[in-house]
Structures are given as C-alpha cells and as structure tokens.
Amino acid sequence: MGDETIFEFLHAEIINYTMNQNEIKKSDCKDEELSDLEYIGFTTGFKMIERLTKEMPRFKDELDTMKFICTDFWTAIYKKQIDNLRTNHQGVYVLQDNSFRFLTKISDGRQYLDVAPKYVGFTCGVIRGSLANLGINSIVTAEIQNMPLCKFHIQVQRN
C-alpha cells in the first residue's frame, strides 16, 4: 500500500465513526468519549509492534524501549522522530513532537484547540498498545497547548 493519504483519511473516518457512536450511546461521562478511539489505537499498536520487532534483539531496559518508540517506531508510523524525550527516571516519560502529523493540517496556533483531543486519542492508544506488548503497562495521555505541538505523557504502572 503506497500512500499515506489513505491512512490519514482512514484516521479521520475512525474519529468520525467513534464520535457518532458515542452520540448514540449517550455516554454522559467525558472520559468515556475517547475510549473507543483509544482502544482502536491500542489494538493497532499492539499488533504493529509484534510485527516490527520480530527480528530485533531484546531491549535492555525501559529507557531503551522508550528510545525505540521515539525513533524507529515513530519514524515508521509518523515519518519523523520524536523531537524531545524527557523522563524523571521514576516511570514518567514525556514525548514531545513539535509537529504532530495529525495536527499539522488543522491549525497553527490555538484555533480549534477544543477538537484537538480527538486527533490524538488514537495515537495515545497506539503508544499504550505498543508498550503493553513490550511488557510495560502504562497510562498515556496527551497535552496540547499550541498546535501542532503535542506532548505525550507516559506513566508506567508498576505493580
């Protein structure tokens, strides 16, 4: 499959679909709204990583895994690397993408900030799914203050 346009349109339609579905289900809790979208991303990421890392050596540690997500994985999916990775070495990672692919065409600034969460829900799921398949349970959230810059917060769950 050659073209990324397909992926972008498919992504847009998935958002469209899940939002419609939510209206039908009439979930009154705001957090519920993005959960289907996130779940679709989760399954995608989960399967994706399985195929990507098939012939790779084992990751050394958590940080090594994160580095892989930021570089190779991100390049494979979003055609660029994560611009900045930060961590407090206690299980919190912040991945910063200065021009996130799904936001670049929407706005350059604060306009449409209210709809932005819809466009990152899928990706949060993808990250969570990939990490889950690499043995890291996490919570992934996104923070957008100024499009198209997007920060993904990964909180590793230890038990």
Partner 1 sequence: MSRSTARIDVKKVNSELVTLTYGALVAQMVKDFDNVDDVSKQLERLGYNMGIRLIEDYLAKTATGRCLDLKDTADKIQSAFRMYLGVQPNVANWSPAGDEFSFILDTNPITELVELPEEIKGLKYCNIICGVIRGALEMVQLDVQCWIVQDQLKGDANTEIRVKFIRRLEDAIPAGED
Residue 159 C-beta: closest distance to partner 1, Å? 27
Does a cis peptide bond (omega within 30 degrees of 0) precede residue 117?
Answer: no
Task: CB nearer to partner 1: give 9 or 145.
Answer: 9
Q: Which residues bind partner 1 (CB under 8 A)?
A: 1-7, 9-11, 13-14, 16-18, 21, 36, 39-41, 43-44, 47-48, 51-52, 55-56, 67-68, 71-72, 75-77, 79
Measured between alpha carbons, how far is 103 from 99 in angstroms, rounded to an integer? 7
Residue 110 C-beta: closest distance to partner 1, Å? 26
Measured between alpha carbons, how far is 16 from 19 in angstroms, rounded to an integer? 5
Task: CB nearer to partner 1: give 16 or 146.
Answer: 16
Measured between alpha carbons, how far is 121 from 128 in angstroms, rounded to an integer? 11
Residue 73 C-beta: closest distance to partner 1, Å? 8
Residues 6+ apart with CB under 8 A from 125: 37, 38, 39, 40, 41, 42, 43, 44, 45, 140
- Phi, psi (degrees; rounded to nearest 5) at 94: -125, 120
Task: CB nearer to partner 1: give 7 or 112.
Answer: 7
Residue 5 C-beta: closest distance to partner 1, Å? 5
Measured between alpha carbons, how far is 108 from 112 in angstroms, rounded to an integer? 10
Task: CB nearer to partner 1: give 57 or 109.
Answer: 57
Residue 147 C-beta: closest distance to partner 1, Å? 21
Task: CB nearer to partner 1: give 106 or 149.
Answer: 106
Neighbours of 136 (CB within 10 A): 19
